[in-house]
Amino acid sequence: MKTVIVYGSKYGCTAQCAELLKERLSGEVELHNAAESGHISLQEYDQAVIGSPVYMGKILPQISRFCQAGKGTD
């Protein structure tokens, strides 16, 4: 099973959580920081996990843009 974890992290906690999750998932797991990664084709993966901290009831802008842009829906 091939998994991608797309995350955004402001102070590093979400990045640490993504890394811990990667260690615990079986199969091939790739991490992608939404602020640093270019286009990600989600069609290459069997499952996807999207992670973001929440500040004042809102997720990080880069995660919001990633979801709204439909990245990976080639």
Residues 27-63: pLDDT tens digits?
Answer: 999 999 998 867 788 899 999 999 999 999 999 999 9
Helix (H, G, I), strand (E, B) or coil at 17: helix
DSSP 64: H
Fold adopted by 2-69: Rossmann fold (3.40.50)
Residues 11-29: pLDDT tens digits?
Answer: 999 999 999 999 999 999 9
Report yes or no: 10 and 53 within 8 Å, Cβ to Cβ.
yes
Strand partners for 49: 5
